[in-house]
Structures are given as structure tokens and as C-alpha cells.
């Protein structure tokens, strides 16, 4: 056999993408087998951010799990809080006051907007449009400001409480919402013009990462990813929890391409729906506690300050509410509106805890080891529609003050399981946009 | 004889000064312009204040410089120079170190053929404001740009890193593919002005069409201009054609470079941007020509005349060239911060299946039109 007759031998290249790679968040690794630029085989390795959430949850009381849930999907923590609280509430059989439910939905939907903005922003950056990413981040800033106004934190909010939420909304919150949403919508329109019909962007996203509806179901993927693939399923509409059945909203579905562009479009459309939901909530929700003076006139925080300036503090002492309701210790009188007042779950306000022996005892009874919440032995599954799909918490109680088991069903786990299938046949350049639209959040994936 | 050498050295120095300065300021422009586009402040911290009593009066002068971030490039440079001279384990050390030199060298050499002014008459001598008067001007430039690929390929091969290797392969195929289109679009210009010499091409652009429109390349070859600019953009390896870098996918051929060697790659990228701007200016936007400026001064189409001295004319020409180059640098920068990135196969499709046939058609149409004009 001469040299020219010999078959050309090619060797595939093994490329180790991550975990220290700019697009892999430092928390996931792909081992790619490449034929030139095309991917022949992809192997996804997870677990780099495993912090033992489930085991940690078994060590503390039911209340101490709430801050851990913030660290699951750290882009939309209020949804996680709600998911866990729903599970424990089911276990204990307690209800949430109406206003508390509305607050939960408001915070969840605001969190969802932040999550979607992060996801599509990062995906646009991964195809090289860095400017659009920063525009999205600016919109997210407006959203984060809202979260900060309500919870006092931007990332790890710990806003949920078993039986309700931590505190009421601040004064003039609905004005802030309208302002922030107006800015967000403006930016979304801008980015829509910049990207959605951009030839290069379309070429990069269309027909990339295609996954049929059947395969999506086979992997039991849910959330925006599945909706983009044509699975018409949204927990908020199909198994409404909280007060979602009172809201009017649409569930955006992909147009059958089942590709990255649809995922982008579905998330884009969902943000508008979330904003609609928040606006409806603000209109519908029952009025919270208000401060009134002796004649029954309603007083806002600003009025109280005005009164104090004029030296009219005598009457103020008689009032039930002091200044800002989001700060601990100043929400007496309001907390019952947003959290179940049952003494077995509600942490007393700081005023009560520091000011009266009953409050102090109540506080200790809830936070001391061996005391705390004692749900009856049993199990419950609390589920919410997370930003990435079904986010479930399975809580088992053995009747003590500690959860026997807390299992989290993370929405992006099945999608990451499908990554190898999504990637094969594409080029290296497609790895990052596909992975970006999966919106893997390592916190909830690895727990 | 020695005076001739001295003049050439002087011209080379002037060209180097122009290019290095524009390229150096580019790093500032990139920071600041991207910041403006992205609603950010950009660099506004790098700087220092004088403590010595004698120099304290300088502090108010420094403040705006600091706020504008003008000292940031210096800070960048200091950082790059102070870094460890490192080469990757298992790589070819010598080749690894020489790759940035090759790349930067060929990026610079191309400028020698770019004319930045007409002939300067001084002390009885005629000095053509061009470092090397080559009658194959742009062929030389393309050749140098082609040789620049070696620097990138060497960097990719010698790094012992798959990412760098992929980046180098991408860069090589991209630069070679787009050079074909680049060459094909320039043929139209050569046919119109009848020369390969860049100085002659620029002189040819001083004529007027229908007595009022400058006969710039962009007006006689509009399609060629767009194609050339796009292909040249691909040559600079910047977004939307920054596949060899692709910072979110393969990091790039300079993955294993740091310190000064990385800085040289970066500088070479900026130099290439300036090259593209200068070449576009020279071929399509009249080079150093200023509309209606002749050797004796301005002659406007409506008959008015403004006499300008010889040195004045040359000064206007050089400044006009510089302004055009800076404007194109700005345009390239704006494009860079606006568009997403292509994928490898899309890039090849665009280059070979769309731009090349159109540029070939452009040659045919240009030839036909020239024949018709001559026949009439």
C-alpha cells in the first residue's frame, strides 16, 4: 500500500471545558471529544458546588433551613423560601394570611424577573454581545432595588417565614414598583430591538440545542426550558398554589422550533407576564395594617415624622405602628397581617421579645435547641414553579424540632442531565449559548 | 546619500509614532467608549497626587486627567511589564516567546506602504510622505498581514494548550479566507485608478466626478467599499469576527500568555485595527486627500479659490489623513461593542459563499462599466 492509498487517520481531540473556564461559572465541567470544531461526545460533570444543603438542614431546626434555601437558586431566593415554607406549612397544617400570600407571590415574581434577566443576559454575553448583557444587568439593578426595599438584602433575602413572610411592604412600594417596571420595560424594548431580530444573534440561537418535546418529557424537564420545547405546563396555572388562581396571566409557549431562540423568547415573554402578576397583586391585595390617629385618620410614615416635627408626639405614643415596617422590632401590629399569628410558629417582634417576659419566653421557645417548631411526624412535599421549573421540597418530620430529611428537587438538574444529548453534533461555540439558556444555577444543582 | 537614509528613517519614525500612539490610545478609547455605550463610567481611578510642596499646584491639573482615565493605559502597561515572564509547562519555550514578536512585527511593517501625505518640497528635495514607495503597495500590505498569521499559529502550537491551539487554527483559517475577499475587492479599485501603487491610487482620488463629487473609492466602488470594510473587520479579529479569541468559548490563541508578551498581542490587535482604518481610508476615502484641496490651495466647484501655501497644504493633508483614520478606529470600536459573535461555520459561509461571489461579481461589473465608459 502506498502512502496515498492509506486511509487518512484522524484523532479526536479531548477538550476539558471547565471548571476554571469563563463560561462554566467555575462550578461545572464538560469533557468534550472534538472532531475539529464539532462535538462528538460530551460528558458533563457536576458537583463542584456541593455544600450538603440537605444534610445541613437536618442539623438545625426548621427555622434555620430558611437561610440555606436562599443559597440554592441564589438569583431568585424568594421562590426557594416559599417552596420550603409551603412544605413545612403542609406538615404543620397552618395557613398563611391573605396579605402574606400576596406578598409571597409579589416577591416570587420579582425574583423570577431577576432570574430571567440574568439568564438571557448571560446568554447574550456568551454569544459575544457584551453590551446587551450590561443593559440587562441594569434592568436587574432596578429589580434588585425593589427586593432590597422589601427585604433589606439583595441576594440572600431570607424573606419567607413558616406561616407567611418576614415583614410587610414598605410605604409607597407600589410607586417604586411602577417606576422600576417602567425602567425594566424600557430596557427590554431596547434590548429587543438590539437583539431579537439581529441577524447574527438569530443565526447563533436558531436551530441550536434542539430538543424535541418527547425527549424533553422523557428527561422530565419543566419550566421555561420545557415550555420553549412545546410542553404546555406551568404549575402556577395547572396546579395553582398560593393565590395564583386569582391572577390573570398567560403561559408563553415555544413555536415548535424547540431551540435556543425559543428559550430566549419564552423567558423574554415570561418577564412581562411576571410584571403583570405583580401589578395585579398590588391592586388586589388586602390592605395591611395602618396607623391611625385618635380621630381615625390614616397616617403614613411621612405624616408621623411631620407630627413629630411639630412636637405632637404625645398622640403618637398611642399609635400601634412606628415608622418603617421592614425593620425588625418596628413591625408590631403589622406582622399579623402577613404571617400566621400562631405562637407556635411566629417569632415575636423584637419589641415583644425585648420588652415583655411573654415575648421573651415565646422567642426562646422557638429558637432554643430542643424547642422550636414541632411539626407532627409525617411527610410533605411543597412545590412551586421556580424560575427554572418545578422546585420541590420534600420534608419528613419525626416529631422532633429538627427535620428528619429535607430533599430538594432542583429544576435544572434534569436539564443538565440532558446536556450531553443537547451538545452532541454542535460546535464548541454552541456550548456556551446552549448551556447559558439551560440557566444552570450551581447552587440548586449541586445543593 | 546619508540624507536620503536620514529622511527615510525620519519618515519611519513619524509613521511609528503615529501608529503606536493611536494604538496606545486605543486601549483608553476601548475602555472609555465601551463604558459610554454600556452606561458605565469606565476607568476613572488610575492616577496619583503630588505630595511635594513644590509640585502641589499640579494636583488640580491631574484631577481631570484621572477622571478621564487617561492614566489607565500607563497603569496597564506597568502591570503588564511587572508580571512574571512565564512560559507554559510542556510548551516550546523559544517559539512561545517569539510568537508575539512575529505578530507585532508584521503588523507594523505593513504601515511602511501607507502614504500619509503628498510630496513635500523642502530645501530643494521632493519627499514623498510614505516610508517605502512600493509600486505593489497593497500587495505588500496583504503579504505582511498574511505573514502575521505565523505569529498566531506559533503561539497556538507552542503553548501546549488545546484552547490556544483551537484559537490559532481558527485565526489562520479566518485570516486566509477573508484575505481572498479582501484582495478581490481591491481589484475594483485597481481597475478604476489603474495602479497598484497606493500613492498613485490616492492621487487618482483627487479628481472630481461630474465636476463636484470627489472621485473617492467609496463613490466609484460603493459595494467594494462595504465588502472591503467587512473583510478587513474580519482581519482585525474583533467582534463580530473575534472567533480566535472568543473569550466565552475558547479564550483564544493567547491563553497561555501573560505580562508583556500578552501585551504585545493586545498591542498588535490595536495596530491591526489602525491598519484597517488606514487602509480603508487610503483605498476608499481619499487617503490624505481633502475635498477640493489642490497643490495651490482650495478650488471649489463653484469657482471660488482660496490660496494655501505649500506647507499648509501638506499639513492639511496629513491632518485629514489622521482624522479619517481616527474616525474609522471609532467606527470599528462602535461595531465591536454592538454586535454578537459569529460561529465558525457561519463565518466561513459568509466569507466563501456570500462575500467572495459578490466581490467577484463586483470586479466583472466594474470592468464592464469601465469598458462602456471608454467606448462611449
pLDDT digits (tens, 9 = 90+) for B5-24: 888 888 888 888 888 888 88
Give residue-wise pLDDT tens across range A356-386: 788 888 888 888 887 888 888 889 998 998 8
A contacts of B344 (beta carbons < 8 Å): 37, 427, 429
B contacts of A13 (beta carbons < 8 Å): 162
Query: By mean pLDDT, which of A160-164, A349-353, B158-162 is the weakest?
Result: A349-353
Helix segments in B194-348, DSSP class H: 198-204, 217-220, 222-236, 259-284, 310-336, 344-348
Interface A–B counts its CB contacts (< 8 A) at 83
What count of residues does chain B have? 376
What pLDDT does residue A293 have?
54
pLDDT > 90 fraction of chain A, expressed in percent and rounded: 6
Residue B364's pLDDT band, with cuts at 50, 70 and 90, is very high
Task: State the pairing for strand pair A403-409/A390-397.
Answer: antiparallel
- Asked whether residue A321 carries a pLDDT value surpassing 70, the answer given is no
What pLDDT does residue A289 have?
59
Residue B339, chain A, CB below 8 Å: the answer is yes
Give residue-wise pLDDT tens across range A1-27: 566 777 777 788 888 887 888 777 778
- Does the distance separating the beta carbons of A128 and B248 come in below 8 Å? yes
Q: Average pLDDT, stretch A71-81?
A: 87
* Nearest residue in chain A measured CA to CA from B164: A15
- Asked whether residue A328 carries a pLDDT value surpassing 50, the answer given is no
* Cβ contacts of B56 within 8 Å, gap of 6 or more: B50
What pLDDT does residue B368 have?
92
What pLDDT does residue A113 have?
92
In angstroms, the CA A292 to CA A297 distance is 5
More confident residue, B268 or A342: B268
Residue A323's pLDDT band, with cuts at 50, 70 and 90, is very low
Picking from B309, B287, B310, B291, the residue whose alpha carbon sits closest to that of residue B301 is: B291
Of B162, B340, B342, the CB nearest to A13: B162
What pLDDT does residue A326 have?
45
What pLDDT does residue B23 have?
84
More confident residue, A288 or A125: A125
Residue B372's pLDDT band, with cuts at 50, 70 and 90, is very high
In terms of C-beta density within 10 A (0-12 exposed, 13-18 middle, 19 or more buried), how is residue B138 classed? buried
The C-alpha cell of B113 is what?
Answer: 506602504
Residue A23, chain B, CB below 8 Å: the answer is yes
- Does the distance separating the beta carbons of A15 and B341 come in below 8 Å? no
* Cβ contacts of A377 within 8 Å, gap of 6 or more: A397, A398, A399
More confident residue, A116 or B287: A116
What pLDDT does residue B358 have?
92
Give residue-wise pLDDT tens across range B98-124: 888 888 888 888 888 888 888 888 777
Residue B357's pLDDT band, with cuts at 50, 70 and 90, is very high
- Does the distance separating the beta carbons of A22 and B247 come in below 8 Å? yes
Smallest CA–CA distance, residue A80 to chain B, in Å, is: 29
More confident residue, A310 or A68: A68
Picking from A389, A125, A169, A82, the residue whose alpha carbon sits closest to that of residue A266 is: A389
Residue A200, chain B, CB below 8 Å: the answer is yes
Give residue-wise pLDDT tens across range B35-78: 988 888 888 888 888 888 888 888 888 888 888 888 888 888 88
- Asked whether residue B333 carries a pLDDT value surpassing 70, the answer given is yes
- Asked whether residue B80 carries a pLDDT value surpassing 70, the answer given is yes
Question: Does residue A19 have a cis bond before it (omega within 30 degrees)?
Answer: yes
Of B37, B162, B249, the CB nearest to A23: B249
Query: Which run of H or E residues covers position A442?
Result: helix A442-446
Residue A396's pLDDT band, with cuts at 50, 70 and 90, is very high
- Does the distance separating the beta carbons of B339 and A200 come in below 8 Å? yes
Give residue-wise pLDDT tens across range B255-296: 888 888 888 888 888 888 888 898 899 888 888 888 888 877
Picking from A346, A337, A345, A341, the residue whose alpha carbon sits closest to that of residue A288 is: A337
Q: pTM for the whole thing? A: 0.84
Query: By mean pLDDT, which of A22-36, A56-70, A280-294 is the weakest?
Result: A280-294
Q: Is A359 left (phi over 0), alpha (psi -120 to 50) or beta?
A: alpha
- Asked whether residue A295 carries a pLDDT value surpassing 60, the answer given is no
Task: State the pairing for strand pair B125-128/B119-122.
Answer: antiparallel
In whole angstroms, how far apart are CA B125 and each of A259, A373, B7? Answer: 68, 98, 10
Give residue-wise pLDDT tens across range A62-74: 888 888 988 888 8
What pLDDT does residue B365 have?
92
Q: Average pLDDT, stretch B144-158?
A: 87
Query: By mean pLDDT, which of B142-151, B155-164, B207-216 is the weakest?
Result: B207-216
In angstroms, the CA A424 to CA A215 distance is 15
CA atoms within 13 A on the CB side of B114: 32
What pLDDT does residue A298 have?
59
Strands of the sheet containing A38-45, edge to edge, are: A13-17, A29-35, A38-45
- Asked whether residue A317 carries a pLDDT value surpassing 70, the answer given is no
More confident residue, B307 or B358: B358
A73 close to A315: Cβ distance less than 8 angstroms? no
The C-alpha cell of A242 is what?
Answer: 398560593
The C-alpha cell of A332 is what?
Answer: 408590631
* Nearest residue in chain A measured CA to CA from B161: A15
In angstroms, the CA A252 to CA A216 distance is 17
3-state class (DSSP) for residue A39: strand
- Asked whether residue A297 carries a pLDDT value surpassing 70, the answer given is no
* Cβ contacts of B364 within 8 Å, gap of 6 or more: none
Q: Average pLDDT, stretch B208-226?
A: 85
What pLDDT does residue B361 have?
92
| DSSP secondary structure of B70-87 | TTHHHHHHHHHHHS----
A186 close to A131: Cβ distance less than 8 angstroms? no
Amino acid at each position: 500500500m502506498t502512502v496515498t492509498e492509506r486511509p487518512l487517520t484522524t484523532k479526536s481531540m479531548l477538550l476539558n471545558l471547565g471548571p476554571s473556564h469563563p463560561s462554566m461559572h467555575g462550578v461545572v465541567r464538560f469533557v468534550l471529544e472534538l472532531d475539529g470544531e464539532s462535538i462528538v461526545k460530551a460528558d458533563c460533570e457536576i458537583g463542584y458546588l456541593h455544600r450538603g444543603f440537605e444534610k445541613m438542614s437536618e442539623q438545625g431546626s426548621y427555622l434555620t433551613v430558611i437561610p440555606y434555601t436562599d443559597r440554592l437558586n441564589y438569583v431568585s431566593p424568594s421562590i426557594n423560601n416559599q417552596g420550603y415554607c409551603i412544605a413545612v406549612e403542609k406538615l404543620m397544617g397552618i395557613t398563611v394570611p391573605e396579605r402574606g400570600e400576596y406578598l409571597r407571590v409579589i416577591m416570587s415574581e420579582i425574583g423570577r424577573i431577576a432570574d430571567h434577566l440574568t439568564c438571557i443576559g448571560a446568554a447574550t454575553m456568551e454569544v459575544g454581545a457584551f453590551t446587551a448583557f450590561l443593559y440587562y444587568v441594569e434592568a436587574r439593578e432596578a429589580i434588585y432595588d425593589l427586593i432590597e426595599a422589601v427585604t433589606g438584602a439583595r441576594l440572600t433575602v431570607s424573606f419567607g417565614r413558616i406561616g407567611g413572610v418576614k415583614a410587610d411592604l414598605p410605604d409607597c412600594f407600589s410607586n417604586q414598583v411602577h417606576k422600576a417596571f417602567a425602567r425594566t420595560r424600557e430596557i427590554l424594548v431596547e434590548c429587543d430591538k438590539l437583539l431579537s431580530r439581529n441577524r447574527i444573534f438569530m443565526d447563533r440561537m436558531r436551530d441550536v440545542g434542539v430538543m424535541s418535546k418527547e425527549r424533553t418529557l422523557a428527561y422530565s424537564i419543566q419550566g421555561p426550558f420545557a415550555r420553549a420545547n412545546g410542553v404546555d405546563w406551568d404549575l402556577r396555572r395547572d396546579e395553582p398554589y398560593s393565590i395564583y388562581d386569582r391572577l390573570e396571566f398567560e403561559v408563553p409557549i415555544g413555536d415548535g422550533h424547540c431551540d435556543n431562540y425559543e428559550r430566549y423568547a419564552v423567558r423574554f415573554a415570561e418577564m412581562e407576564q411576571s410584571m403583570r402578576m405583580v401589578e395585579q397583586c398590588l391592586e388586589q391585595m388586602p390592605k395591611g395594617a395602618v396607623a391611625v390617629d385618635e380621630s381615625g385618620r390614616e397616617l403614613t410614615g411621612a405624616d408621623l415624622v411631620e407630627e413629630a416635627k411639630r412636637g405632637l408626639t404625645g398622640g403618637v405614643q398611642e399609635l400601634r405602628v412606628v415608622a418603617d415596617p421592614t425593620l425588625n422590632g418596628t413591625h408590631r401590629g403589622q406582622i399579623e397581617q402577613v404571617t400566621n399569628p400562631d405562637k407556635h410558629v411566629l417569632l415575636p417582634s423584637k419589641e415583644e421579645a425585648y420588652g415583655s417576659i411573654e415575648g421573651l419566653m415565646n422567642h426562646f421557645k422557638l429558637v432554643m435547641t430542643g424547642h422550636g417548631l414541632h411539626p407532627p411526624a409525617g411527610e410533605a412535599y411543597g412545590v412551586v414553579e421556580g424560575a427554572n421549573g418545578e422546585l420541590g421540597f420534600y420534608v419528613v418530620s419525626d416529631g422532633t424540632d429538627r427535620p428528619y430529611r429535607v430533599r430538594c428537587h432542583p429544576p435544572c438538574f434534569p436539564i443538565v442531565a440532558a446536556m450531553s444529548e443537547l451538545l452532541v453534533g454542535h460546535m464548541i461555540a454552541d456550548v456556551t449559548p446552549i448551556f447559558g439558556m439551560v440557566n444552570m444555577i450551581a447552587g440548586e444543582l449541586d445543593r | 546619500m546619508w540624507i536620503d537614509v536620514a529622511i527615510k528613517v525620519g519618515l519611519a519614525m513619524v509613521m511609528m509614532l503615529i501608529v503606536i500612539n493611536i494604538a496606545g490610545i486605543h486601549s483608553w478609547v476601548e475602555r472609555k467608549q465601551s463604558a459610554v455605550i454600556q452606561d458605565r463610567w469606565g476607568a476613572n481611578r488610575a492616577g496619583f497626587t503630588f505630595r511635594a510642596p513644590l509640585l502641589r499646584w499640579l494636583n488640580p491639573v491631574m484631577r481631570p486627567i484621572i477622571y478621564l482615565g487617561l492614566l489607565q493605559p500607563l497603569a496597564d502597561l506597568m502591570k503588564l511589564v511587572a508580571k512574571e515572564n512565564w512560559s507554559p509547562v510542556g510548551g516550546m519555550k523559544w517559539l512561545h516567546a517569539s510568537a508575539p514578536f512575529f505578530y507585532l512585527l508584521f503588523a507594523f511593517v505593513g504601515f511602511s506602504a501607507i502614504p500619509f501625505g503628498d510630496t513635500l518640497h523642502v530645501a530643494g528635495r521632493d519627499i514623498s510622505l510614505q516610508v517605502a514607495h512600493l509600486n505593489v503597495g497593497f500587495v505588500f500590505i496583504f503579504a505582511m498581514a498574511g505573514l502575521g498569521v505565523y505569529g498566531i499559529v506559533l503561539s497556538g502550537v507552542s503553548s501546549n494548550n488545546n484552547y490556544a491551539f483551537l484559537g490559532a487554527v481558527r485565526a489562520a483559517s479566518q485570516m486566509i479566507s477573508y484575505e481572498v475577499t479582501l484582495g478581490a475587492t481591491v481589484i475594483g479599485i485597481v481597475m478604476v485608478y489603474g495602479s497598484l501603487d497606493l500613492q498613485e491610487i490616492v492621487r487618482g482620488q483627487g479628481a472630481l466626478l461630474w465636476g463636484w463629487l470627489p472621485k473617492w473609492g467609496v463613490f466609484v466602488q460603493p459595494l467594494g467599499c462595504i465588502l472591503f470594510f467587512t473583510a478587513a473587520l474580519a482581519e482585525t479579529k474583533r467582534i463580530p469576527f473575534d472567533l480566535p479569541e472568543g473569550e466565552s468559548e475558547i479564550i483564544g490563541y493567547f491563553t497561555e500568555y501573560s505580562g508583556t508578551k500578552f501585551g504585545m498581542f493586545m498591542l498588535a490587535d490595536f495596530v491591526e485595527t489602525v491598519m484597517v482604518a488606514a487602509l480603508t481610508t487610503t483605498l476608499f476615502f481619499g487617503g490624505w486627500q481633502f475635498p477640493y484641496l489642490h497643490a495651490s490651495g482650495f478650488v471649489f466647484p463653484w469657482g471660488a479659490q482660496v490660496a494655501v501655501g505649500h506647507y499648509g497644504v501638506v499639513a492639511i493633508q496629513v491632518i485629514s489623513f489622521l482624522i479619517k483614520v481616527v474616525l474609522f478606529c471609532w467606527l470599528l470600536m462602535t461595531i465591536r461593542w454592538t454586535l454578537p459573535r459569529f460561529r465558525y461555520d457561519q463565518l466561513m459561509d459568509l466569507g466563501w459563499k456570500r462575500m467572495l461571489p459578490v466581490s467577484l461579481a463586483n470586479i466583472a461589473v466594474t470592468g464592464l462599466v469601465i469598458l462602456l465608459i471608454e467606448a462611449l
